[in-house]
């Protein structure tokens, strides 16, 4: 109450002051002589007119202010933001008359100019006086309470089987099991044949990798198309035939080639339940390295295509080939409306363990789910592989005889040396009994009498004769079995869902028939100590690029959807919807393709990786163009003036890449005394205060914010290599941008004149051990030393101390408390072990625990400034940068690490960044994330080899003790392990000379100059009574926000030089949100729906409706949250009030990929997104 009264008073004073000032100015004009008098009269009239205008302006202003103050009084906190905006904008209008400088000064001294909440974040900007030192407040503490806090302190899922417990108890002893090498000699009581009838489903399938040994398109042209071409007539030959297929990236290619008649024939197979699309994603994604954004996105792409084109909604998941499985996938499929899923590449010891307990079929439950609403029925395959020898039963030499493509005379055979026999009347009885024996043995491992026998392999059924051989021979076996009830079985071809339906039919009377299971299936080993942990790191350049594409695609989707909606609202037909939609679809599909389990995994051939890389680059460039064009449209004041010109866009892209494997280049902004604009876009659902850096041609810069105030900036020289300074054509200028949620802020830059105070600070640089003499650079202080004393950099929160001789981090101190934490950074090299099997793209088989690289007097470059300080160390294999920003907000609370890794001179070596801390996790328990969605507890065991203790780190990991937590936030997916208490190794790159025997048939030697980016976050617990290694853990709320800042950068797009002098006027900012999202809710996507995909006319015409995905991120409440510009609200979202000018019409909650409509949503009510959950809404924006 008090607060808004003060406000009202202050604003009234401001308006009155302005008016009086203007009057005073007018009436003191000199007027003597008659001519002078008439001139004076005219002048007077003009001035009176001006006063009139000003008074009218002020009237409007007062009315507006009244309105907002009224709302503020009613408790609408958002009114405050509007009020601030209004004052800033309107005072700008008013001061555009003489003596504005005085007025600005006067206004700046008003004691209540900025409300407390905003002041914290923009303290430096708003209160700094000319010449004042740049100082920053670390930000206020924010209290988080509500459902997530109770969840984070709850015990979690309480499942029957906890995979972490299983790993803890298993001996991993690997005894020889006989025919089933990794299992045991499976037996059954012969009397069972007469008492327990088996229901057998033989499920023909063809596993088609969209790229691996061949590129995606080569596979399609040479193999996959043939599979489809043969499928159609061969399936039509016999109505009992069935087939399943998974990858829509292939299926849609073929569909596009079909005429209407053939499309009808395909539709008939699908509608008849004979051809089943399983999972229906764009690809069968890798589950270790992928982020949930991209997993969902490629499923959305596949499901949208299927639903739009065929009306198909898959309900069973099929993942036979990913190298380990994440529980995130089970969650996502569940929320997409799936009923069942299947997995295959599970560690052989775990398979055996689950088989022993008949627990290969289970309800996969999220470990945090105490309500048990996430249970997903999952079938794990028991044997070594998904090929025919390993799918009918435990004995591969028997099963291989029932792969009729390997009949004698063909070019394929059985390595167990017993060839298949074609089924004839004379052998059918014996053959059926032999096969049934395997099926029955397999059924011993499951609780039901329903048997799943997949029949296929990679790129199978590409020739017509294979269709005949498999289907005809099996049909003869089925006919015989079904005619002989004494065999105790009924056999048929089935789809995956046929199998699952039969299982559910058999068990429906018994609730809780299947055990529940929580946890995940990493790290996979297929035999011996062959752990597939190399692929967590292989091809790290493209793993990094993947995330860059994700951030750009997501940001482009959101701003495109907004631009589209505003274009519709303004009836502006000049926005290039179709062109932009085409680019978006290309980007979606390029990114989708790269989620394939041989793509982001880094396990494809060199030229295939290049093919993915080129597609990613095309997608990335397109997404950036969409972002720039949409931002330009939204920021142009008069939409009528906006014109799309592909050859001369209004905004430059924030970055460009010359080739798919080159590093990004940023534009250099030509500065002069004429101001030029930079448009900064924030794709997050809350206002963001963050450091933005751009390159400019002048060292002396003046940066102005959207409200016309000069803000602090820091310039530093641009070093072309470790030692020299450029000739002065390029400088890096950094400033703190404040950008509205999902909005755009326009900053203005110009070359500063002499003698003005421009709040521009020059950074100083110190070299240690420079290899040659150091160039001086204009006004910049650059000096060099050869001493080896420790040194430090700091911001307002942290001080980081570095070893003087190695230049590497050793200590982090929290300034407020004086608390010091040891944080030693080193780099370590691993060799490939000297045995027959060696490390390759998939396998990590190191020769030891890794040797620290000794850095002898590396060149060290320290740059210090008031806004950002950084230490560059040029070690032999890594250009390593530690950066501390001094900004209000989250970013100042963590250390930024950038590495540029280059191991091209090494042979059979892998490199890690090793961080040793004083965190006392004596049990070596640590937590890594699964797909950026949730954390999974891990533990290092001596019973496992080093490679078995390595886990994927798609976006973060932490170690902790009772007092503190040390988190590493990662901008890309890499492998991570904890070999000693307090010590973390992050694998950065691998260079391997040889193949590792998993079919790739090459080493990994296409290393590149590879960037990676991390944040280190040290947090002290509020509540030390919490258990230090709980089964279920969550990142802190602060860590979530910091992670979003890391992965979803601000995009700074300069106004193109070609448009520097065009009359286009920009708004000062574009701020679409009325009520921001709370801190814990992340806008995963706001994705415009594509029109009917197989129609040439409509394909790229965007629909009015969009999918909005909101995620209530899991957060641990026992760590303080501060420095954020958002506010927590227990996951509650105001859908009706979300946007200020746009409305969400026809709002529906749907399943995650929009396959099924759920409830219609009453937008007026606050919608609660429960903790951990992702909710999807479909709405038309207008
Ligand atoms: Zn595959």
Distance 930 CA to ligand 1 centre (A): 21
Residues 6 or more apart whose CB falls under 8 angstroms from that of 387 comprise 403, 456, 457
Is 1121 a residue whose pLDDT tops 60? yes
For residues 541 and 9, the model is more confident at: 541
Q: Residue 106's pLDDT is what? A: 29
* 790 backbone φψ class: left, alpha, beta (φ>0; ψ -120 to 50): beta
Distance 365 CA to ligand 1 centre (A): 26
Summarised one tens digit per residue, pLDDT across range 106-137 is 232 222 222 333 333 333 333 333 335 687 87
Q: Span 857-867, mean pLDDT?
A: 94
Token pair 């520097």 in the structure block, residue: 1060
Q: How would residue 151 be classed by pLDDT, with cut points 50, 70 and 90?
A: confident
Q: Residue 101's pLDDT is what? A: 31
Is 570 a residue whose pLDDT tops 70? yes
Mean pLDDT taken over the chain: 89
Distance 229 CA to ligand 1 centre (A): 21
CB under 8 A, 24+ apart: contacts of 466-469: 466/404, 466/405, 467/230, 467/231, 467/234, 468/234, 469/404, 469/405, 469/407, 469/422
Is 43 a residue whose pLDDT tops 60? no
Distance 461 CA to ligand 1 centre (A): 16
Distance 219 CA to ligand 1 centre (A): 12
Distance 323 CA to ligand 1 centre (A): 9
Is 182 a residue whose pLDDT tops 80? yes
Q: Residue 82's pLDDT is what? A: 56
Summarised one tens digit per residue, pLDDT across range 240-252 is 999 999 999 999 9
For residue 197, the SS3 value is: coil
Distance 205 CA to ligand 1 centre (A): 13
Q: Span 545-565, mean pLDDT?
A: 98
Summarised one tens digit per residue, pLDDT across range 461-512 is 999 999 999 999 999 999 999 999 999 999 999 999 999 999 999 999 998 9
Q: Residue 875's pLDDT is what? A: 94
Token representation of residue 42: 């005219």
Distance 688 CA to ligand 1 centre (A): 41
Q: Span 37-53, mean pLDDT?
A: 48
CA dist list (Å): 765 to 718, 761, 871: 11, 13, 10
- Which helix (H) or strand (E) segment is 542 a member of? helix 540-569
Helices (H) and strands (E) in the chain, counts: 24, 51
Distance 251 CA to ligand 1 centre (A): 16
Q: Residue 1075's pLDDT is what? A: 95
For residues 193 and 1161, the model is more confident at: 193
Q: Residue 675's pLDDT is what? A: 94
Q: Residue 860's pLDDT is what? A: 95
Q: How would residue 14 be classed by pLDDT, with cut points 50, 70 and 90?
A: very low
Distance 284 CA to ligand 1 centre (A): 8
**Rounded to whole angstroms, how far apart are CA atoms 917 and 169?**
29
Distance 212 CA to ligand 1 centre (A): 8
Is 56 a residue whose pLDDT tops 60? no
For residue 716, the SS3 value is: strand
Q: Residue 758's pLDDT is what? A: 87
Q: How far is CA 786 from the centre of its chain?
A: 43
Summarised one tens digit per residue, pLDDT across range 434-454 is 999 999 999 999 999 999 999
Distance 593 CA to ligand 1 centre (A): 13
For residues 708 and 107, the model is more confident at: 708
What percent of the chain stands above pLDDT 70?
A: 87
Distance 249 CA to ligand 1 centre (A): 14
Q: Residue 336's pLDDT is what? A: 98
Residues 6 or more apart whose CB falls under 8 angstroms from that of 430 comprise none
Summarised one tens digit per residue, pLDDT across range 288-298 is 999 999 999 99
Is 103 a residue whose pLDDT tops 50? no
* 919 backbone φψ class: left, alpha, beta (φ>0; ψ -120 to 50): beta
Summarised one tens digit per residue, pLDDT across range 899-953 is 999 999 999 999 999 999 999 999 999 999 999 999 999 999 999 999 999 999 9
Distance 434 CA to ligand 1 centre (A): 30
| CA geometry: angle 119, 124, 127, nearest 5 deg | 70
Is 4 a residue whose pLDDT tops 80? no
Q: Which of 339-343, 956-960, 1027-1031, 1156-1160 has the lowest mean pLDDT?
A: 1027-1031
Is 369 a residue whose pLDDT tops 50? yes
Distance 321 CA to ligand 1 centre (A): 5
Q: Span 187-201, mean pLDDT?
A: 97
Distance 209 CA to ligand 1 centre (A): 5
Distance 601 CA to ligand 1 centre (A): 11
638 is catalytic: no
Question: Considering the entire predicted model, what is its pTM?
Answer: 0.89
Q: Residue 889's pLDDT is what? A: 83
**Rounded to whole angstroms, how far apart are CA atoms 111 and 356?**
74
Distance 570 CA to ligand 1 centre (A): 48
Q: Residue 174's pLDDT is what? A: 96
Is the sign of the CA dihedral 382, 388, 389, 393 positive or negative?
positive
Summarised one tens digit per residue, pLDDT across range 802-860 is 999 999 999 999 999 999 999 999 999 999 999 999 999 999 999 999 999 987 889 99
Q: How would residue 756 be classed by pLDDT, with cut points 50, 70 and 90?
A: confident
Is 748 a residue whose pLDDT tops 70? yes
Q: Residue 77's pLDDT is what? A: 54
Distance 1002 CA to ligand 1 centre (A): 17
Distance 841 CA to ligand 1 centre (A): 14
Identify the bridge partners of residue 203 per DSSP, sorted by sequence position: 454
Q: Residue 28's pLDDT is what? A: 33
DSSP 1036-1094: BHHHHHHHHHHHS--EEEEBPGGGTTS---B-SEE--BSSPPPTTEEEEEEEEPP--TT
CA dist list (Å): 456 to 257, 391, 404, 1128: 25, 9, 11, 51
Q: Residue 96's pLDDT is what? A: 26
Distance 134 CA to ligand 1 centre (A): 55
Annotated catalytic residue, options 297, 321, 803, 1093? 321
Token representation of residue 108: 């700046």
Output b/e per residue, 821-831; b: 16+ Cβ within 10 A: bebbbbbbbbb
Distance 998 CA to ligand 1 centre (A): 11
Distance 384 CA to ligand 1 centre (A): 15
Q: How would residue 68 be classed by pLDDT, with cut points 50, 70 and 90?
A: low
Determine contact, residues 248/277, Cβ cutoff 8 Å: yes
Summarised one tens digit per residue, pLDDT across range 330-346 is 999 999 999 999 999 99
What percent of the chain stands above pLDDT 90?
A: 79
Q: Span 186-205, mean pLDDT?
A: 97
Q: How would residue 157 be classed by pLDDT, with cut points 50, 70 and 90?
A: confident
The dihedrals phi and psi of 579, each to the nearest 5 degrees, come to: -60, -45
Q: What is the DSSP letter of 819?
A: -
Q: Residue 1062's pLDDT is what? A: 85
Tally Cβ neighbours within 10 Å of residue 16.
12
CA dist list (Å): 22 to 29, 58, 96, 708: 12, 12, 11, 21
For residues 69 and 183, the model is more confident at: 183
Token representation of residue 1093: 């995909």
């Amino acid at each position: 109450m008090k607060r808004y009264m003060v406000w009202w008073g202050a604003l009234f004073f401001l308006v009155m002051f302005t008016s009086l000032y203007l009057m005073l100015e007018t009436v003191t004009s000199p007027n003597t002589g008659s001519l002078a008098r008439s001139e004076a009269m005219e002048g007077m009239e003009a001035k009176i007119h001006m006063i009139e205008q000003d008074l009218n302006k002020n009237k409007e202003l007062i009315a507006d202010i009244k309105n907002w103050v009224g709302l503020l009084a009613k408790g609408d906190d958002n009114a405050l933001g509007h009020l601030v905006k209004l004052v800033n904008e309107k005072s700008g209008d008013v001061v555009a008359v003489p003596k504005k400088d005085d007025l600005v000064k006067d206004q700046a001294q008003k004691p209540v100019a900025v409300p407390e909440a905003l002041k914290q974040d923009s303290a430096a900007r708003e209160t700094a006086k000319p010449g004042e030192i740049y100082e920053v407040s670390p930000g206020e503490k924010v209290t988080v309470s509500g459902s997530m806090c109770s969840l984070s302190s709850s015990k979690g899922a309480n499942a029957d089987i906890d995979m972490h417990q299983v790993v803890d108890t298993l001996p991993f002893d690997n005894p020889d099991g006989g025919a089933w090498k990794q299992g045991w000699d499976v037996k059954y009581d012969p009397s069972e044949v007469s008492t327990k009838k088996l229901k057998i489903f033989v499920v023909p399938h063809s596993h088609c990798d969209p790229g691996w040994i061949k590129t995606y398109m080569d596979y399609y042209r040479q193999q996959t198309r043939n599979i489809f071409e043969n499928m159609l007539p061969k399936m039509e030959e016999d109505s009992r035939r069935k087939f399943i297929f998974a990858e829509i990236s292939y299926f849609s290619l073929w569909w596009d080639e079909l005429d209407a008649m053939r499309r009808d024939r395909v539709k008939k197979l699908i509608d008849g339940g004979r051809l089943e699309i399983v999972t229906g994603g764009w690809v069968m994604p890798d589950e270790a390295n992928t982020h949930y954004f991209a997993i969902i996105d490629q499923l959305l792409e596949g499901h949208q295509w299927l639903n739009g084109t065929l009306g198909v909604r898959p309900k069973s998941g099929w993942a036979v080939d990913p190298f380990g499985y994440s529980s995130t996938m089970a969650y996502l499929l569940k929320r997409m409306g799936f009923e069942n899923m299947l997995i295959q590449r599970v560690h052989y010891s775990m398979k055996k363990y689950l088989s022993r307990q008949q627990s290969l079929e289970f309800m996969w439950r999220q470990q945090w789910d105490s309500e048990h609403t996430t249970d997903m029925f999952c079938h794990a395959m028991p044997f070594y592989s998904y090929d025919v020898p390993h799918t009918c039963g435990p004995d591969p030499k028997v099963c291989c005889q029932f792969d009729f493509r390997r009949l004698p005379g063909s070019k394929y055979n059985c390595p167990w040396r017993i060839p298949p026999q074609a089924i004839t009347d004379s052998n059918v009885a014996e053959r059926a009994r032999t096969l049934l024996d395997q099926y029955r043995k397999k059924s011993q491992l499951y609780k039901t009498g329903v048997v799943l026998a997949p029949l296929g392999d990679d790129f199978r059924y590409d020739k017509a004769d294979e269709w005949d051989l498999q289907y005809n021979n099996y049909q003869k076996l089925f006919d015989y079995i079904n005619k002989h009830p004494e065999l105790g079985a009924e056999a048929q071809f089935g789809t995956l869902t046929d199998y699952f339906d039969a299982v559910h039919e058999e068990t429906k009377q018994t609730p809780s028939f299947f055990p529940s299971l929580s946890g995940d299936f990493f790290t996979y080993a297929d035999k011996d100590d062959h752990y597939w942990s190399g692929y967590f790191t292989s091809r790290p350049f493209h793993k990094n690029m993947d995330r860059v594409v994700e951030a750009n695609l997501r940001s482009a989707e959101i701003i495109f959807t907004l631009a589209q909606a505003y274009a519709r609202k303004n009836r502006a037909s000049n926005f290039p919807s179709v062109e932009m939609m085409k680019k978006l679809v290309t980007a979606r599909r390029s990114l989708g393709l790269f989620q394939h389990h041989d793509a982001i995994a880094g396990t494809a051939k060199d030229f295939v990786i290049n093919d993915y890389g080129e597609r990613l680059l095309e997608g990335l460039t397109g997404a950036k163009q969409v972002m720039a064009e949409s931002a330009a449209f939204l920021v142009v004041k008069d939409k009528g003036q906006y014109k799309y010109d592909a050859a001369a866009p209004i905004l430059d892209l924030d970055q460009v890449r010359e080739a798919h494997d080159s590093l990004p280049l940023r534009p250099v902004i030509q500065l002069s005394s004429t101001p030029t604009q930079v448009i900064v876009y924030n794709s997050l659902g809350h206002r963001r205060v963050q450091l933005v850096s751009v390159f400019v041609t002048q060292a002396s810069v003046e940066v102005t914010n959207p409200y016309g105030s000069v803000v602090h900036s820091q310039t530093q020289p641009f070093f072309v290599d470790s030692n020299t300074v450029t000739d002065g054509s390029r400088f890096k200028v950094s400033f703190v941008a404040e950008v509205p949620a999902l909005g755009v802020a326009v900053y203005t830059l110009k070359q500063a004149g002499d003698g003005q105070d421009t709040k521009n600070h020059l950074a100083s640089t110190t070299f240690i051990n420079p290899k040659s003499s150091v160039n001086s650079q204009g006004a910049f202080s650059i000096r060099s030393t050869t001493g080896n004393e420790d040194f430090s950099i700091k911001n307002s929160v942290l001080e980081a101390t570095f070893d003087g001789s190695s230049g590497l981090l050793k200590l982090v101190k929290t300034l407020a408390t004086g608390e010091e934490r040891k944080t030693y950074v080193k780099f370590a090299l691993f060799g490939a072990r000297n045995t027959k099997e060696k490390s390759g793209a998939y396998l990590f088989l190191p020769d030891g625990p890794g040797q620290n690289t000794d850095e002898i007097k590396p060149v060290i470059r320290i740059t210090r400034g008031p806004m950002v300080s950084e230490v560059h160390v040029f070690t032999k294999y890594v250009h390593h940068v530690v950066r501390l920003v001094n900004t209000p907000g989250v970013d100042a609370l963590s250390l930024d690490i950038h590495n540029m890794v280059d191991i091209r001179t090494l042979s059979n070596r892998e490199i890690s960044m090793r961080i040793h801390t004083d965190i006392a996790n004596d049990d070596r328990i640590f937590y890594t994330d699964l797909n950026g969605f949730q954390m999974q507890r891990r533990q290092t065991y001596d019973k496992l080899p080093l490679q078995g203790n390595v886990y994927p780190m798609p976006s973060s990991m932490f170690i902790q003790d009772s007092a503190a937590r040390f988190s590493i936030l990662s901008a890309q997916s890499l492998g991570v392990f904890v070999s000693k208490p307090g010590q973390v190794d992050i694998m950065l790159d691998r260079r391997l000379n040889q193949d590792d025997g998993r079919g790739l048939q090459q080493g990994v030697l296409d290393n590149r100059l590879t960037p990676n980016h991390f944040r280190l976050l040290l947090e002290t617990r509020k509540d030390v009574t919490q258990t230090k290694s709980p089964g279920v853990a969550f990142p802190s709320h602060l860590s979530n926000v910091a992670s979003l800042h890391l992965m979803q950068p601000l995009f700074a797009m300069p106004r193109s030089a070609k448009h520097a002098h065009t009359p286009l006027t920009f708004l000062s900012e574009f701020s679409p949100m009325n009520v921001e999202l709370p801190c814990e809710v992340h806008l995963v996507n706001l994705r415009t729906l594509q029109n009917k995909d197989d129609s040439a006319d409509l394909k790229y015409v965007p629909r009015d409706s969009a999918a909005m995905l909101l995620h209530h991120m899991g957060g641990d409440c026992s760590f303080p949250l501060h420095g954020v510009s958002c506010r927590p609200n227990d996951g509650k979202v105001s859908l009706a009030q979300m946007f200020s000018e746009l409305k969400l019409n026809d709002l529906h909650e749907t399943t995650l990929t929009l396959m099924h409509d759920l409830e219609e949503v009453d937008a007026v009510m606050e919608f609660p997104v429960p903790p951990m959950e992702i909710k999807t809404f479909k709405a038309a924006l207008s």
